[in-house]
Structure 1
Amino acid sequence: MNLTPIPPDQNDRAELARLLPGPVERELPSDRHRHLQEFVMSEIHQDLRATGQVARPTPRRRFALAASALTAVAATAVGAVAIGTAGSEPPPTPPVTAALSGQQILLAAASTAERLPESSGNYWYVRITSSGTSKSAPWQVENWFDRSGRTWLRGDKSNGQVVELSVPTPFQLGGSEITVARLRMLPTSPEALREWLTDAVRDSDVRTSAGRPTVAQQERLVFDGLISLVSQLPAPPKVRAAAFQAIAAYPDVESLGAVDGGQGLLVPFGTGSPARLVVDPVTSRIRQTNFFVSVEGGQYVAGGSGADAGSFTLVAEWTDELPR
């Protein structure tokens, strides 16, 4: 797509980009698969019991309507459990036997994220590991960011040493710079968060080789921003929850079943390659993906296809340690 945000310092962006040059999926043991299914279904069930009914947000554009429809799908999946006989206790939750839908997995991850305590630290740490393909070698790069934007990295091209970039590297979202403090102020409802990203992309300086992005390209940038919020950026729990809910509202989200690291998902988008994600609904983390948008705004896509498809394994968390 060749969408390139206009950065404050192109030379430094290039320096960081040069340090970023795809996965073998294994079936989980049957008991782990069952536990994950039971967890996800119990998350949806608890949400329905807590509210007494499926929440239906006020319709706002087509996105809001889609979100309501997907919530109804989740309610249908557990309807037999949530409805009890008048004057009696609800029956116990039966063993989970049905496969979980992609929307259910994402909504369960959102429910978990919403209840997690907010973590903190001196540095936001991101580690990206490429699996490689038959035509490309595996690689790994690590970044540390402090709250002022100072950036350190370690990778093959830094000879395994931690080095500091010459100028701060601010986070990027929707084609614009964003601070940790501003991330904390993002909307916490999926409809409002998507609208915020839509406005940010529209008003940004993002350009393609043909000029301003088309409407379809802008919509893809909004989707990329949602993925960034749940995988790479230090977004607070409620914002992460809203982003998971917004991703669940996209049509045709497909569950690939239990894989190493969590639940596999395929999220088609337009005519481009679908996003392939591995979500751990227990921790609400993206463990693996076939593409990512780096914190400095660059997009990277794993090579290969079929059995040779590459992937990226992600770790993103707060830490107080800056290795030397």
Structure 2
Amino acid sequence: MTATTGTDDGRAGRSSRDSRGGRDDRAELARLLPPATGFALPPGRHEHHRERLMNQIDHDTAADTASASAASAKDRAREGARDLAPARPRLLRPSFLAPATALALAGALVAGYSAQGGGDAPERMESGASASERAGEAQPVALVLNRISDAAAKGEAGPVRDDQFVYVRSQVQNGDLTSGTLVTTPLSEREDWYAQKPGPQKKLGLSREDGETLPINPQLGDTEGTAPGIGRPTYRWLAELPTDPRKLLDHITALTPKPEGQEHAQAVFDEIGGLVGFTVMPPETAAALYKAAALIPGVTEAPNAVDAVGRKGVGIARVDAHYSSRSEWVFDPETLTYLGSRSFLTADTAYGRKGALLSADAVVKRGVVDEAGVRPQD
């Protein structure tokens, strides 16, 4: 579609010091995290892992008194995270990390689905078209995306009522740096229920993975709840987006933050991937998003693309040279419907070899239900 993940007790707004006068690891972790960016990442995926992390931190804090040696170790870990963060690969879907390593790896994590934020629209050329538009129009991939757009325009998704939930079941894999090297977690099933209520909400839905069901809570800093937007793309919000591809690209670009070190065009590509992959939206909006993606410089066709469960299809890809990573969207070769995505390293790094998988997903089912936790009927 991607936030505080604590309960409604206002966790995000707590002081940086705990009740005993010590430093609050949760606040320190939030401070160390880099600006949020997205990668085809459904809203709630990062929230699910972050909630598990925060719960474990709460448990450890209550169980053990921080000793001087532990504090010293944490200080060294924080310093190491600051030193290593710029060189680490961007983990597109961070796995659950144990509290002992969380702070040391904080610099390597990028929060999943991005919050609304500022950003500059593509620079306009004298001809009136942006540089991204001119580059996209010159690429053969535009023909492929136009075909995908035409197929999306014939879809029958929605409408979705404000009192309903969008349901997505997927198979996912995530990158893990806990060991100091990149390890891809086993494939697991995930289910998400996204609330469609208008206005700021503190209960955004439910997420179920590995047999554990957790609430999807407001984004980091949204103490009054998270409003519909690019970080919480409800059907109503998606229906209000412009359907002219050039205007839509400018709009999405303006809402996509510029993450430090990452190409802004890549962040925009990832945002669009999250929207088309893990939401239910009006067909005309989906069609416009694919045509907008064709206007992003560097987007190419990816032959022999496969999703997380090995389904082969038509691929659309972009390489982020700054992060040495490649993102791919996969579409059914016959119907051109979205199947899933994957990302991997494009060069050898200190954390993994070229070709190492950063993340992968496969959408198994999407639907609309009246109650969170209930699966749609087949």
Q: Give the TM-score normalised by structure 2.
A: 0.50
2:157 is the alignment partner of 1:106: no
Q: 1:198 aligns with which of 236, 246, 253?
A: 253
* Structure 1 residue 215 displacement after superposition: 8.8
Match of 1:231 among 266, 277, 281: 277
CA contact (8 A) 1:232 1:316 kept: no
Please give the per-residue CA displacement for 1:237-257, whole angstroms capped at 9, x wherever unaligned.
Answer: 112112211222333503314
Match of 2:208 among 119, 143, 154: 154
Q: CA deviation at 1:59?
A: 4.5
CA distance in 1, matches of 2:262, 2:340: 25
Report the TM-score when normalising by structure 1. Answer: 0.57
CA shift digits 1:86-114 (9 cap, x unpaired): xxxxxxxxxxxxxxxx4433221111112
Same amino acid, percent of matched pairs: 22
1:138 equivalent among 187, 196, 201: 187
Structure 1 residue 275: deviation in Å? 0.9
RMSD of aligned Cα (Å): 4.0
Aligned-partner residue type, residue 250 of structure 2: E
1:118 deviates by: 3.4
- Compare relative contact order (CA 8 Å, sep 6+) and give the higher one, 1 or 2: 1
The alignment of Structure 1 onto Structure 2 pairs a total of residues equal to 231
Q: Which residue of 1 aligns with 2:169?
A: 127
CA gap 1:277/1:318 in 2 versus in 1, 3 angstroms: same
Question: Structure 1 265/150 Cα, relative in aligned 2: closer, same or farther at 3 Å?
Answer: closer
Gap change, CA 1:179 and 1:213, over 3 Å in 2:
same
1:115 and 2:154 aligned: yes
| Residue 306 (1) aligns with residue 350 (2) | no
- Describe the shift of the 1:316–1:107 C-alpha distance in structure 2 as closer, same or farther (beyond 3 A): farther
Does the aligned pair in 1 maintain the 2:343–2:357 contact within 8 Å? Answer: no
Structure whose residues are more often helix by fraction: 1
Q: Taking structure 1 as reference, are residues 317 and 137 closer, same or farther at Cα in structure 2, changes over 3 Å only?
A: closer
Could you tell me how far 1:231 is from its partner in structure 2?
0.8
Distance of 2:94 and 2:361 partners within structure 1: 11
Change (3 A) 1:16 1:323: farther
Q: Structure 1 residue aligned with 2:301, among 254, 263, 266?
A: 254
Q: Is the 8 A contact 1:290 1:310 kept in 2?
A: yes
Structure 1 SS opposite 2:133: helix
Q: Which amino acid aligns with 2:280?
A: P
Letter of the 1:188 partner, please give it. T
SS of the equivalent of 1:306 reads coil
Question: 2:240 pairs with 179, 182, 185, which one?
Answer: 185
1:3-82 equivalent positions in 2, closer than 5 A: 3-4=35-36, 14-15=50-51, 21=95, 59-70=128-139, 73=140
Could you tell which deviates more after superposition, 217-226 or 139-148? 217-226
The runs of 5 or more residues in structure 1 that have no matched partner are 22-57, 74-101, 207-211, 293-302
Which residue does the alignment assign to 1:285? 337
**Cα offsets for 1:10-46 (capped at 9, x unmatched):** 988821788973xxxxxxxxxxxxxxxxxxxxxxxxx
- The gaps in structure 2 that reach 5 residues or longer are 1-32, 38-42, 55-92, 96-126, 176-182, 198-202, 219-224, 345-351
